[in-house]
Structure 1
Amino acid sequence: MKTRPGPTTRVRITELSGPAARERRDDLATEEPLEIRLAAPDGTRRTVAITMRTPGHDFELAAGFLAGEGLAGPQDVASIAYCTDEDLPPEARYNTVTVRLRGPVPDLPALERHFVTSSACGVCGSAGLEALRLRCATVPRGLLKLTPDLLYTLPDALRAAQGVFGKTGGLHAAGLFSADGRLVAAREDVGRHNAVDKLVGWAALSGRLPLAEHVLMVSGRASYEIMQKALAAGVPVVCAVSAPSSLAVELAREFGMTLVGFLRGERCNVYAGADRVSA
């Protein structure tokens, strides 16, 4: 019987260096599917997402995905558990999570299809700003002020928290920071949006939403999906090591968020909400 998967998988490889070749072991970031199911008190069950992820913090991933997509907030969730259905083969038990709701499964247009996502890009739910306008408010101003010097410390602080990346070199990370630059929590995953979902899920399950006085730092680029998830969690500032997309910048400007890209060393670009950053 297959055991619970871990965040890394050991394999044997052939390493080439010049004309020489040698066999050795290597650690890879584990990538396996996770199916997220909703279950209502009346017995209704529905699969709402199948995502490729790095095992670990699966319940947070489920809670963060549901909160980010507006399907269920922490107040709607009665319990989260790995699925024990008899129709599932043993190897699938730890790749299926059932979220039991206090009420009915939401009857939303989005549920007419599954959110099938990959670790690379994929579609992560509502694909337009119009859908966000119906459920998300503009982020309040004036609650958070940051200095450039504080921003410059974030990438190194996030990198220091990436334990699995240090072994594999193949994971994205998302870190949540307080207004004074303290790392509050960090999560890793092969999917950049999954790492953010895990972080938002941690905040949801620990009763910390909305994250109105926090900064989200991501190790890759700032995509629309990441900005959507940050907005749903009430995060006013998102920082990224790489570039943002055009739609990410548009979202940030429309909803009053601060978006920082190319945050490396002692330089960065502020694409929206520069009023929150001052020397």
Structure 2
Amino acid sequence: MPTYLPPADAVTAFSILRIGTDAPETATDLVATEEPLEIQLGYTRGSVEVRKTVAITMRTPGHDRDLAAGFLFTEGIVRDPANIAEIVRPADKPQTVIVRLRPDVAVDVRPLERNNYTTSSCGVCGKASLDAVRTATRHPLPEAAPLLDPAIIHRLPETLRAAQSGFDQTGGLHAAALFTFDGRLVAVREDIGRHNAVDKLIGSQLLAAPAGAIPLSERIVFVSSRASFELVQKIVMAGCPVLAAVGAPSSLAIELARETGATLLGFVRENRFNVYAGTMRLRALTPAFAAT
């Protein structure tokens, strides 16, 4: 089973004072590292090579190539792994990743209508408008697919939890996992930001050899967080029909899921879950719920 193994710099040790019912004591606490990452896009315009900073995001170090590729893909800048010539980290700028596109790739940077800084807790805080996010999504997902067994959904939290070594160390990392419809765990990524974890997961599939694994049809993305608008947008961009979350969805997440034909599941824990959109993909539901 795939297990996320965070790099050494993804975890930082601090000396702390621990207070309980007994006498205070000093201890060492491991916490999730939060550091900035500058994502730059390199492309050719005419005969001129252009390099543009598209985001500075607060993230947990590790799988930065996946994060950069996933971010540019879910923003609609990179459409195919073949668009990418290379992803490099300058020797003098360890907190920068440059995604260089092939010279023949046409680039439209208008979808990146955001401030250049995003926090670890927000993926679309800098968006100029929600309309800019909506127009980036692809066509509604097809309804025809194998049906999901609710028993498979019930097993997702336990399976993911067993693979979260970073969370075991810190208790402070969100996880995003990719599952098949029969419950097989394909990949896991962790980050202090839930949207970064999803971008890392999608980026890992975009960059998968030999030619990427996008679209993520007949796959489930399961997150150990709430389901926000930008997470639905990201899975739809990746062609994934199902987003399941341990926590609650937002109103905009539900609206976008229904608008695009995605299946959205919330409160997936303790052998229960709520279906907020896309009931047509779930087995053993009565026809009365088919339109939700």
Q: TM-score, normalised by structure 1?
A: 0.91
Residue 100 (1) aligns with residue 100 (2): yes
Return the offset for 1:76. Answer: 1.3
Q: 1:112-191 maps to which residues of 2 (within 5 A)?
A: 113-123=114-124, 125=127, 127-129=129-131, 131-133=133-135, 135-191=137-193
Return the offset for 1:18. Answer: 2.0
Residue 242 (1) aligns with residue 256 (2): no
Q: Give the superposed CA RMSD.
A: 1.9
Return the offset for 1:134. Answer: 5.7
Residue 272 (1) aligns with residue 281 (2): no
CA 1:201/1:55 → structure 2, altered by over 3 Å: closer, same or farther? same
Return the offset for 1:83. Answer: 1.9
Instruction: Give, as a single letter, the amino acid of the residue that structure 1 aligns with 2:236.
Output: L
Match of 1:47 in 2: 53
> Taking every aligned residue pair, what percent have the same amino acid on both sides?
51
Return the offset for 1:11. Answer: 1.1
Match of 1:81 in 2: 88
Q: Deviations over 1:48-96 (max 9, x none)?
A: 0110000000000000000000011322111001123xxx5xxxx2210
Q: Deviations over 1:229-256 (max 9, x none)?
A: 0000001000001110000000100111
CA 1:157/1:112 → structure 2, altered by over 3 Å: closer, same or farther? closer
Q: Does structure 2 retain, via aligned residues, the 8 Å contact 1:176–1:183?
A: yes
Residue 31 (1) aligns with residue 38 (2): no
Equivalent residue pairs, number: 269
Instruction: Give, as a single letter, the amino acid of the residue that structure 2 aligns with 1:152.
Output: H
Match of 2:73 in 1: 67
CA 1:113/1:128 → structure 2, altered by over 3 Å: closer, same or farther? closer
Instruction: Give, as a single letter, the amino acid of the residue that structure 2 aligns with 1:253.
Output: R
CA 1:244/1:34 → structure 2, altered by over 3 Å: closer, same or farther? same
Return the offset for 1:142. Answer: 1.5
Q: Does structure 2 retain, via aligned residues, the 8 Å contact 1:5–1:94?
A: no
Instruction: Give, as a single letter, the amino acid of the residue that structure 2 aligns with 1:12.
Output: S
Partner SS for 1:17:
coil
- CA–CA distance in structure 1, aligned partners of residues 89 and 231 of structure 2: 26
| Structure 1 moving runs of 4+ over 6 Å | none
CA 1:177/1:126 → structure 2, altered by over 3 Å: closer, same or farther? farther
Match of 2:203 in 1: 201
Instruction: Give, as a single letter, the amino acid of the residue that structure 1 aligns with 2:19.
Output: L
Instruction: Give, as a single letter, the amino acid of the residue that structure 1 aligns with 2:18.
Output: E
